[in-house]
Structure 1
Amino acid sequence: MSMQDPSAAEPVQVFEDGSGDRFLIYGVDDGARVEIRFDGDALWMSQAQIASLFGRDVSVISRHIAAILEEGELGDAADLHFLQIKGPADRTVRAYSLDMVISVGYRVSSAQATLFRRWATAVLIRFATRGFVVEAERMKAGGEQDRIRELRDIIRDIRSEEANLYAEIRQICSLC
């Protein structure tokens, strides 16, 4: 099965609002769009957001989550979080980790879930074949200085190891 280059139409964008909060927007060509806020480095989504993401009813998402937990695919403690929603009537909303969202996405049957799986699989294939995945446009857009520094440090470490290897080879060759 041949896949289109997913970088041609990345459905995921990360933005930062004026307060410094980061949020991710997942959008597809048919106009469906879901905004997910970060809590630190973790993404958390309510069942309603997951339902919107995959174009299904909340009850369908709830059944998939129950099956994932029952089968032990994921554990409840690490994949469940409670968010405080501020407004006229403050309330607490149960939110699920990105791991849970991905697991649900691979179970749900809908056109939007299929698009999500194609995108997620393409990213995984890039990682498996290249050993890394970089969203160049996201890095160029700015606001990712910590990630750029992290990437620079990783590259520096790789180059350092490479330089050490060449030094060892030169030393071995000098003994011949």
Structure 2
Amino acid sequence: MPNKNLSLRDQTTEFLLYTAPNGAIKVEVLLGNESIWLTQKRMAELFGVGVAAISKHLDNIYASGELQQEATISILETVQQEGSRQVARKLEYFNLDAVISVGYRVNSAQATQFRIWATALIKEYIIKGFAMDDERLKNGRYFGKDYFRELLERVRSIRASERRIYQQITDVFAECSIDYDPKSETTRLFYAHVQDKFHFAITGHTAAEIISHCAPVILREVVPATLREVVPVILREVVPVILREVAGSICEARAC
């Protein structure tokens, strides 16, 4: 059964205008549950076809199992003008998943415009790994939630990735070095120094300081009492060697 509990932000009807590139199409849509909700009539206006065509495509979509009715349909009581009267009727609203699926099946000029737009976004995502609506991010809250903060957090996470940053630094270093040798001591020391810089930029501490700060916790919480005299030696003598080897392996990987 379709979902009958469409929850609207502050229980008011809101509208979003969808305008085609020729500026001719304007469709009222209901915003709720961070999605777009359209009736079959509004969907028909959006794609420039009759309601019967929309109904046929929706039946095929649900029959094929592409979408589930209970996940994509909500029934809402809507007041509409019928002649001189305002009548309250229960109407089926279909969410964004259903709208997109119908848009890829309908044969009309407006549906073609929709597919060109949607395909361009998919292509951009496949090639670049991201697709953005700059104006929406600037203005925010199209769907009751501002995704700008989420975008910032994801970008911050990507920028903090040592693996990604190391790759960029490796590329620059290799391309600018005429006699680049991934096994040379100079290269190894360079990457060890860069790694220390990154550690400090992210944590405020050098690699040695991080080890020093973590050592008491490791000794107290992790290491058995019988090994606690050995661990400081490992941290002091072995870990720096490992760090240098890691930096060197990055160079070698770049050379391959």
TM class by shorter chain equals 0.7 to 0.9
Amino acid at match of 1:148: F
Q: Note the alpha carbon deviations across 1:92-120, whole angstroms, 9 max, x for none.
A: 11011211111111111100000000001
The alignment-based identity, stated in percent, is: 37
Aligned to 1:115: 113
Structure 2 residue corresponding to 1:69, chosen from 59, 62, 74: 62
Moved over 6 A (4+): none
Larger radius of gyration: 2
CA distance in 2, matches of 1:146, 1:38: 14
SS of equivalent residue, structure 2 residue 17: strand
Q: 1:159 to 1:39 in 2, by over 3 A?
A: same
Aligned to 1:96: 94
Counterpart mapping for 1:31-110 below 5 A: 31-86=24-79, 88-110=86-108
Do the aligned residues in 1 keep the contact of 2:15 with 2:31 (CA within 8 Å)?
Answer: yes
CA distance in 2, matches of 1:153, 1:49: 36
Amino acid at match of 1:149: R
Q: 1:69 to 1:23 in 2, by over 3 A?
A: same
Aligned to 1:153: 153
Structure 1 residue corresponding to 2:127, chosen from 110, 126, 129: 129
The answer to whether the aligner puts 1:27 opposite 2:97 as a matched pair is no
Q: Greater strand percent: which structure?
A: 1
SS of equivalent residue, structure 1 residue 89: strand
SS of equivalent residue, structure 1 residue 27: coil
Provide the aligned C-alpha RMSD in A. 2.8
Do the aligned residues in 1 keep the contact of 2:29 with 2:37 (CA within 8 Å)?
Answer: yes
Shift of 1:30: 5.1
Give the gaps of 5 or more residues in structure 1.
Answer: 1-18
CA distance in 1, matches of 2:19, 2:157: 36
The answer to whether the aligner puts 1:138 opposite 2:208 as a matched pair is no
Shift of 1:128: 1.2
Aligned to 1:174: 244
Q: Greater helix percent: which structure?
A: 2
Shift of 1:136: 1.0
Do the aligned residues in 1 keep the contact of 2:140 with 2:146 (CA within 8 Å)?
Answer: no
Give the gaps of 5 or more residues in structure 2.
Answer: 1-10, 81-85, 167-190, 196-239, 249-256
CA distance in 2, matches of 1:89, 1:135: 38
CA distance in 2, matches of 1:24, 1:131: 28
Shift of 1:150: 0.8
Do the aligned residues in 1 keep the contact of 2:37 with 2:95 (CA within 8 Å)?
Answer: yes
Aligned residues: 158
